[in-house]
Amino acid sequence: MYDDAPAPACTICQGNLYENELGHQACRPCTERVDLNLRALAGPDGLYARLNRSLRPGSSSSGPVVSGSRTAPLPVRLEPLSLAARGGVVTILQTWLVDWHETLGYRHPRWEGDLQQQCDQAVKRLRVLLPWAAEAHGAFDEFFREVAQLRRQCETATGGEKPPRRIGVQCSCGHTLRVTLDTAGIRCPACSTQYGLQELRKLPLAERWAA
């Protein structure tokens, strides 16, 4: 009698897990990607620090930009401000860290210093606990997506990177899926087929994109 149970898969990219990854929520490459995104946020030259240097209207971390607008500019740029202020990047990272500590039965983490220091502390602790989370935390895929989104938002707000370009690929049912080169996985809304990173790369371009 054959075992029809699906092979264990990464909750992020949907790729099959290797033998040494069995029982984990995420594969090693996806765990390394979230670690890279965390490291990009922290430090004196990290994306969070660059947010505070991008608050002045007409400025970004890459230097001043002259605006042609004749109206008086806002005193600060709202997008980097919302990410840099309490409730933004730091609060989101701290919320995840509190959740992880509670799941493990650890005491509540303590926040010390200004928001930059708290960002660095949260990133450092999250990276320490990352191997555990990739193995045992049931919402690791959500954590992966949220940290990746934070990095993209910070890069856009500081002028470091434009939003990733989306292209159309065709699902086996004919529905067009809009993905980026960084899309780890997606479910087709028309037929509910789940595609991982490797499967997405094998899909043909949608007709209007292939023209």
pLDDT in tens, 148-173: 999 999 998 887 655 567 788 889 89
- Give the 3-state secondary structure percentages of the chain, helix then strand then coil, rounded to 5: 45, 10, 45
Amino acid (one-letter) located at 34 = V
Calpha distance 64→31 (Å, rounded): 36
Residue 181's pLDDT is 67
**Whole-number pLDDT of residue 6:** 58
The pLDDT value given to residue 103? 95
Provide the pLDDT for residue 114.
94
| Structure tokens given for 24 | 């984990």
Residue 196 is predicted with a pLDDT of: 81
Residue range 105-142, pLDDT digits in tens: 999 999 999 999 999 999 999 999 999 999 999 899 99
Would you call 211 helix, strand, or coil by DSSP?
coil
Q: What is the pLDDT, as a whole number, of residue 182?
A: 67
Least confident range from 9-23, 44-58, 68-82: namely 68-82
Q: Which positions ≥6 away from 76 have C-beta within 8 Å?
A: 55, 56, 57
pLDDT score at 81 = 78
Q: If you average pLDDT over residues 93-112, what whole number do you get?
A: 95
Contact 48, 38 (CB under 8 A): no
